[in-house]
Every structure is written in structure tokens, then in C-alpha cells.
Structure 1
Amino acid sequence: MTETVLVTGGTGFVGSWAVVRLLQQGYRVRTTVRSLRKQSMLRDAIAQQVDANDRLEIVAADLTSDDGWADAMQGVDRVLHVASPMHTDDSSDINTFLVPQRDGDERILKFAAAAKVKHVVITSAAAAAKPGEGSDAVTADETVWTQPNDPVQNPYQRSKAIAEKATWDWVKQYGGDMQVSTVLPTAVFGPIIMPQNNSSQQLLVRMLKGQLPGTFNIGFDIVDVRDLVDLEILAMQSDKAAGERYLAVSEHMSMKDIARYFKGNLPEIGRRVKTWTIPDWVLRVVARFSANVAVFIGLLGRDFRYSNRKAKEQLGWSPRPVTETLHDSAERMAELNLL
């Protein structure tokens, strides 16, 4: 019998791809949106990627309220919880990120357990597995936990570690049969399904628009959104993934090399990209006045890389090269006239 999977936040960048990949694999999919006014828009976008037939159901539920979740979980076999309160007007207060994230995760777990769901996969973040200040680690794996008071991490990043810890504390107290896994993505790039989902890739958008005067002296561990979702599905399908964390990362690439790739390999789309390196001191000064720039300060001088060994060896995950991700990201942005 075909299983039903619940995806939280189906209109999001990751959530929309989760819906598509699951439908492509033959699952029945139920996905949540905060408002059913978005239902037609989502159905139209999904239809451009896959024929859902009658296998897609869209329901209203918000992570900040219990309303709708009991019905949303009814008859569900597995859950991919990818919705996350990413943006806020007050980025200096950790509680604006932490409270809805932690409470939302617990709400999903509570209602999933009550509905006797088999497996829940929660999307955390690689920021929850960052070596502490003074660490000599060259590689960070799933055994590493971010220190909740790490001054280098911004409030959003620290909130992800605290929220994931709360998830595992809930699992310990729960003691039931429901399986739980967490997946920790690095910087998530890739082609967007809907135009409004480009906020997660604003760095690339601004670079391609020529709005950045140059590149910062930083690099990113990158994962393609399609590969991230594939890893979450692999975890969801595997009994051995129960109780495990998995880092989702493909490769590391410097911001300068990203700019050079666009400039050299997509000459028309990348014609406005600037490859000059902006001095670190300029970044630090601007970061005092811009929260959007301040998030990059922690990447200056970072000398460790995230490992994908566990996901590859335990689940057979195989992410694509970063250059393919960048190419598809830029091509899709151009196709949607976002540049």
C-alpha cells in the first residue's frame, strides 16, 4: 500500500522540493501551508515538475499553534519536518528564532506520536555542529555540537543547536516506538520552484545582479536543495537512521570561486558579477550596521570543513558537484526573470 508522507511548509524552498521528490518516488503527499490561499499557487508550481494526479493534499496548519495538526497527521506514515522560522524583524534576539523553532519541533513530534507516525525527520542546520572557539578540528562531523553561547555564531545559528538539543531531549523522555532523525544542511543552494523562494539565495541573486562590489574572503560548505531532500527521504525510509543526525554537505567553495564560476561558465547570466576581494576590515565595519552582513563574520578565517561521510556510508547518499548546483541555480533565476 502506498505510504502517505507529511511535509511541513510546502511552499518553502526546501518544502516544495520535498513534495516534488516524494511524488516522483510514488508517495502520497500531504503538505501544510499557513494559509490555503496559497494552495493554487503551490499546485501550479508542483505541476510544472511532476504529475501529482490525486496524490497531493494541501492543508492549513501553523507551527505556532496546535490548530490543524491533529487532522494533518491523521493517516500519515512518515513526516519530513522542513518548515523553519528563518526570517525575523529582530535578528539580535535569539528568542525570536528559538521559541518558534523549538516549540514548532515539539508540536510536530507530539502530534506525530499521537497519530502513531513511523518516522519523523527534522531539518536542523550544520550550524548546530560547529566546533567551539579554540578547537583545532579540521573536520566537523555529527558528534560535534555548537556551544549555545558561542559569540561567533549569530542568534539564528545558536538557536538551531538549542532547538535540536530540545528535540533529542524530547525523544529521550518520549520512550515510544516512533523513530526520529535529524538532518543538518550547510548552505542550501539550487534551483527554486517558485519565484518567491529566492530569499534563501539572496547572496547569489545580489552577486548575479552586480549589486555586490566584490567578494568576501569567506567560503561555504554547500548542499543542493534536491540532494538535501533526497537525504531526508533516505533517512525517513531507513530504520538504522532512527536516533541519528546526518550532515548534508556536498563540497566547499570560496565566494571568489563562486563568482569566478559564474563569470567564466555563464558569461551572459554572470556578466555583472564582480570578483574583486573586499578586505576583511570593510566587512567587519559594515557588519556593525547590517545584520545581513554580520552573519558572514563567523566565516572569516574558518579553517574546518563539514563531513558527509556518515550520510554516504550509512544511507548511500551521493550529492552532486557544487558546480552543477550553481549552474542550475543561476539558470532557474534567469528563467524566472529574477535577475
Structure 2
Amino acid sequence: MKKHTLLVTGGTGYLASWIIKGLLEEGHDVRITVRNKNNSKKYQHLLKIESETAGRLSVFEADLLKEGSFDQAVSGCDIVFHTASPFFIAGIKNANDDLIKPAKEGTRNVLNAVNKSTSVERVVLTSSVAAIYGDNCEMRGKAAFSEADWNETSSASHQPYSFSKTVAEREAWEMCKKQKKWSLVTINPSFLLGPSLTTRKDSTSISTVVDFLSGKYKTGVPALTMGYIDVRDVAKAEIAAAFTEKAHGRYLISAGETSLSGISATLEKCFPGQYPLPKRIVPKALFWLIAPMVGYSRKVVSRNAGLPLKFDNRKSITDLGMTYRNLETTLIDQKEQLERDGLI
């Protein structure tokens, strides 16, 4: 493969780290953006990967909310991977400040930098299935959600994370339409699981499995169904989207569907009797009653609990050549990483 100069925003993130690892292994010059370049502890794992691979790593400082802060990092790049965006669904104090503003304005600032550059040919934006649908109840009348669907129901007051991903992706497509220098491909993954390249636990994807294994949910979990995907497979899809010439539009990236009880049952099957995992499903009526005390709104419970969900990932298989790890493999590898790093 031809050697490229590439930028990955939010370079210390859970997904971004796997993208960077893959790019360095292929021998590319990889730039990353971080909020504080002096805090090298957050990207030490990437420096170690660089030392063991043919690629070269460069670190730039940038802020999603600071106009022009991505200009230097973008200048001279062939491809930009924009992964930086806040991801949390509980403990939100101000949805606009915590989620929506950094997601939308961050996307705009990165793409403004791309527009100023004369070298960028493609942007790969990490969006989410949250930009495809808002609540499970929207499945009514559908066989499955696909790339043709857009989230039309989320807002700053209902499913604000989903709303932030939707407005950010829409902003990207609007900006793309206004120019002809670069192409845009979006990756829309379902819920990420799998091993991390760092020992951080501040990712929702990581903390969810830690909470399962620590016994936080041992008294029971609600009947919530979701899509799942191994973080390593998302990284593979991102890289394929960057270098596959025919790649276009949106790509729904999901290995399948599971539930909170399904995650628990899979962990119990793989590690019988080792962890205080939940065996009980909390009835929807009880979940609705206690929802505000456990970080959910009653509207979310009404529109999601006990309702099915299905995704159509055929476009990713056809265009990007995707194959997907199963849930057992993903959770075994994630548990072993957490144990190896002393996080459980």
C-alpha cells in the first residue's frame, strides 16, 4: 500500500487507538490530535506502538470548540479520520454544553480545516447507529434499520447523545455538499465492546463491562436490546472506508443484536461462576417506576424496554469486505484485557 499522511482526531480514544495501531502497522505517517500535548501519559501506548511498527506518529494539540485549532494538524494530510466526540449517556448536566455543542462545532471546525487544506482527498467520520434511529419503538413496520434511515426523534431533552451524533453527521454532509475537493464516508457503529489498548476506564463501552463483572447489576437488568460490535472491527471498517475507492455514503457497522441480559448470559457461559452477574430481568413496570433513580427517563423506558431491534449490515460486507467477530470472542478478549491490566 502507498504510504499516506493521515490524521486521527481524538487520538487517545478507545476506538481511535485501534485505528492508529492499524495505520502504523501499515507504515503510514499518522498524526493525532489531543487536548493537552504535555499529558503524554494519555498517548504513551501509541508511542510504544510506533516504536514497534513501520509507521511514524506525530502529536498535535487541538480543541473541538476552538476554531482553527485543527488547521496545522490537517494541513498536508491525505485522509482525515474524525473520531473525536463526547460519548456518555448518564450524568449529563447540560446536554448542549456536554454533548451537542462539542459534537456539532467540533465536526464543523475539523471540516473547516479540511476545506482550507489543498491535500485532503477523503474524510472518514465516526458517526453512530444513534444517527440512524432514536428508540427501539421506531422498528415498528421495519424489517431492520439501514443506512437509509435517519434519527428524527431525538432532541436535547430526549436521548441527547443520539441527538448530538445526528446533528454532527448532518452538519458533515451539508458541508460536504458545498465543495468538490474531498469525499465523505461515515461509519455508523452500534455499541462498541472489546479490549482496550489503554488502562483507562472512562469509556462508556469499557465501564459497562466492568460494571457487569464487578456485580453492579447483580440484582437484575432491564430488557434493553442493542446492537453490538467489536471495537477492532470498527477500526477495520474505518481503515477500509479510507482506502476503498468505491466506498461512499454511510456504513452501518454492527455484528448483531443482543441485550443486557444477553451480555450477562454470554459472560456467564464463558466464565461460569466467576462473577456476580445478573440472572434476573427487571420487569418493565418496575424499571419505569425507578428509571429516574438509575439515570433513565421514563420516556426512554417506554420507547425502548422490551422492544426488539434489528440492523442491516449488508452494505458493509459488500463494499468494505467486512467480517464480524461474535459476542463471545469480543467479551472473552475484553475480560482478559481488563484482568491483565488490573481493572477487574
TM-score by length of 1: 0.90
Does 2:167 correspond to 1:166? no
Quick check: 1:184–1:246 contact (8 Å CA) kept in 2?
yes
Change (3 A) 1:109 1:45: closer
Number of residues of Structure 1 aligned to a counterpart in Structure 2: 336
Q: What amino acid does structure 1 have at the position aligned with 2:261?
A: K
Measure, in 2, the Cα distance between the counterparts of 1:219 and 1:69: 37
Does 2:196 correspond to 1:192? yes
1:30-179 superposed matches below 5 A:
30-44=31-45, 47=48, 51-52=52-53, 55-87=56-88, 90-91=92-93, 93-94=95-96, 96-116=98-118, 117-130=120-133, 135-149=140-154, 154-173=159-178, 175-179=179-183
Quick check: 2:95–2:156 contact (8 Å CA) kept in 1?
no
Change (3 A) 1:31 1:318: same
Give the superposition deviation at 1:50: 7.0
Change (3 A) 1:320 1:7: same
Q: Which one of 298, 304, 307 corresponds to residue 299 of structure 1? A: 304
Change (3 A) 1:52 1:215: same
Change (3 A) 1:210 1:197: closer
SS at match of 2:264: helix
Q: What amino acid does structure 2 have at the position aligned with 1:289?
A: M
SS at match of 1:29: strand
**What is the match of residue 284 of structure 1?**
288
Once the two structures are superposed, what CA deviation does each residue of 1:262-302 show, in whole Å capped at 9, x if it has no partner?
A: 1221237x422122222222322232234368797353133
Measure, in 1, the Cα distance between the counterparts of 2:84 and 2:177: 23
Q: Which is further off, 87-96 or 209-218?
A: 87-96
Once the two structures are superposed, what CA deviation does each residue of 1:70-112 show, in whole Å capped at 9, x if it has no partner?
A: 1111221101111112248635634642221111111111111
Once the two structures are superposed, what CA deviation does each residue of 1:201-220 show, in whole Å capped at 9, x if it has no partner?
A: 22211110011122221222
Once the two structures are superposed, what CA deviation does each residue of 1:112-168 show, in whole Å capped at 9, x if it has no partner?
A: 122130110111110111177564112000000111457995111122112211211
Percent identity between matched residues is 26
Which blocks of at least 5 consecutive residues in structure 2 are unaligned? none
Give the superposition deviation at 1:66: 2.6
**What is the match of residue 229 of structure 1?**
235
SS at match of 2:282: coil
Give the superposition deviation at 1:53: 5.8
Once the two structures are superposed, what CA deviation does each residue of 1:293-326 show, in whole Å capped at 9, x if it has no partner?
A: 8797353133231111111111111121121111
Measure, in 1, the Cα distance between the counterparts of 2:106 and 2:65: 6
Q: What amino acid does structure 1 have at the position aligned with 2:284?
A: D
Change (3 A) 1:166 1:300: same
Q: What amino acid does structure 2 have at the position aligned with 1:323?
A: E
Measure, in 2, the Cα distance between the counterparts of 1:62 and 1:232: 22
SS at match of 2:293: coil
Change (3 A) 1:95 1:66: closer
Which blocks of at least 5 consecutive residues in structure 1 are unaligned? none
Measure, in 1, the Cα distance between the counterparts of 2:144 and 2:331: 24
Change (3 A) 1:27 1:54: closer
SS at match of 1:6: strand
Q: What amino acid does structure 1 have at the position aligned with 2:141?
A: D
User: Which runs of structure 1 show a deviation greater than 4 angstroms over 4 or more consecutive aligned residues?
Assistant: 131-134, 148-153, 292-296
Does 2:341 correspond to 1:336? yes
